[in-house]
Structure 1
Amino acid sequence: MREIIFDTETTGFDPHSGDRMVEIGCIEMIDRLETGNSFHCYYNPQRPMPKAAEEIHGLSDIFLSDKMLFADGADELLEFLGDANLVAHNAQFDFNFLNAELVLCGKKPISQFRMIDTLAIAKVKHPGAKLTLDALCSRYGIDRSHRIKHGALLDAELLTQLYIELTGGRQIGLSLSEEKADAASEGRKISGKEAALRRQFIAPRAHEANEMELARHAAFMKEIEDPLWAKI
């Protein structure tokens, strides 16, 4: 299963009042393993950056002035997203901005059915707790010491680790330990994508009972006194 974990940075809180998306960062996962593929882009919002927003992500008018318009890179982004489910923290916020940008350039908005919200998952697992990305990273021991300011790709990388922890941890990948051990012995590091492609699936065994098992079952049934099914 292919999933994209993503985050955005914006000029404010409401795309319907003129705020724009200025950065997006995406991480690709297949079967809960990072493939190493990512997408990252800055966009010129064609409007001044409010001071309050710049203090959060550090993206100034000068820095963004020579970046592409969203419309010029929309097709490349949509190609990367494909038809994967999209995972974000407080996902409705990011979806609102992404879809507003798509509509502005004449593209079809992305269906809400593809949205997975890690904030909603965290609310169920940790009711009443502080559920910011920073707080949840601290709870799960995810290193965020390099996060000085918000950044879409950096936050997507942190969210990838958090999403895995919120949905069962790394246990699902234990079957890949043999492949990773072989790669380590060869002096190389196996990528998540390579591991996913190399995964061996065991064919299901036959479930029909043999003659001996049927005979034992019949003998067991005869030993049951006054069975309910005999009264039907």
Structure 2
Amino acid sequence: MAPVGFRPPGSIIEIGAVELLRQDDRWEKGRTYHTMVNPEGPVERRAIQIHGIHETRLKDAPRFAEVFEPFSRFIGSAGIIAHAYENERLYLDYEFARLGRTNWGDEAYPIGRWLCTQRAFARQFNQTSKSLDVVCDKLWLDRSERDFHGALLDADLTADVLVMLELMALHGYDVETARGLSLGLTALC
């Protein structure tokens, strides 16, 4: 997700999600969901720099109220994977409450549904920096198309991170072996 500001709470300006399906002992990417979202207000300069999305691109985008139903149907009852999930969760909590779908202070999705790849990475590697860029570099994941924090690309990379971390944790593979096994595999975010 891309927010209107740099820190939660606040409005969302872009949503991207990638479905991960378990097929026997492999993950496969399924459907994707992507939309820009009109925040109904100004976008902070820092957010524009981070996400590369200017207000002019959002003026004709649907409002969160319009994407709530299709987004909720896409998520369904599945678990939700995110990198630095606290941010994603807080932005969704804000938007759901703003619409009156939850009470202020309530969770849009229960915390037990979330899996954080940043935390999973931190448990496997002793590194102070756990940004998505650092994680992708450590796991040899191609992030060459990532000039900005784009919601769908970030969701896709997060899915790849999950697959790599699972291969390493469950099977004891090193990064090089897991990378070779994950080529062609897919995941959900």
Name the TM tier (shorter chain).
0.7 to 0.9
Deviation at 1:192, TM superposition (A): 6.8
Conserved? CA contact 1:27–1:34, under 8 Å: no
Unaligned stretches of 5+ in structure 2?
103-107, 172-183
Alignment of 1:2-81 (within 5 A): 8-12=1-5, 13-15=7-9, 19-31=10-22, 33-81=27-75
Conserved? CA contact 2:82–2:116, under 8 Å: yes
Distance 1:192 1:144, change over 3 A: closer
Aligned-pair Cα RMSD in Å: 2.2
Q: Deviations over 1:63-97 (max 9, x none)?
A: 10111110111011000100000000110110110
**Separation in 1, partners of 2:51, 2:41:** 16
Deviation at 1:128, TM superposition (A): 3.1
The two structures have a TM-score, normalised by structure 2, of 0.81
Conserved? CA contact 1:24–1:40, under 8 Å: yes
Q: For residue 218 of structure 1, what is the aligned residue in structure 2?
A: none
Matching residue's letter, 1:99: D
Q: For residue 110 of structure 1, what is the aligned residue in structure 2?
A: 109
Matching residue's letter, 1:128: Q
**Separation in 2, partners of 1:117, 1:106:** 27
Conserved? CA contact 2:3–2:47, under 8 Å: yes
The two structures have a TM-score, normalised by structure 1, of 0.67
Conserved? CA contact 2:163–2:186, under 8 Å: no
Conserved? CA contact 2:16–2:152, under 8 Å: yes
Q: Using the aligned pairs only, state the percent identity.
A: 28
Q: Deviations over 1:206-225 (max 9, x none)?
A: xxxxxxxxxxxxxxxxxxxx
Conserved? CA contact 1:25–1:156, under 8 Å: yes
Look up the SS of the partner of 1:27 in the other structure.
Answer: strand
Greater than 3 Å deviation, 4+ residue runs: 190-193
Larger Rg over CA atoms: 1
Deviation at 1:166, TM superposition (A): 1.2
Matching residue's letter, 1:157: D
Deviation at 1:130, TM superposition (A): 2.2
Q: Deviations over 1:4-54 (max 9, x none)?
A: xxxx10011121xxx211111000011152333110111100111111110
Look up the SS of the partner of 1:87 in the other structure.
Answer: strand
User: How many residues are matched?
Assistant: 166
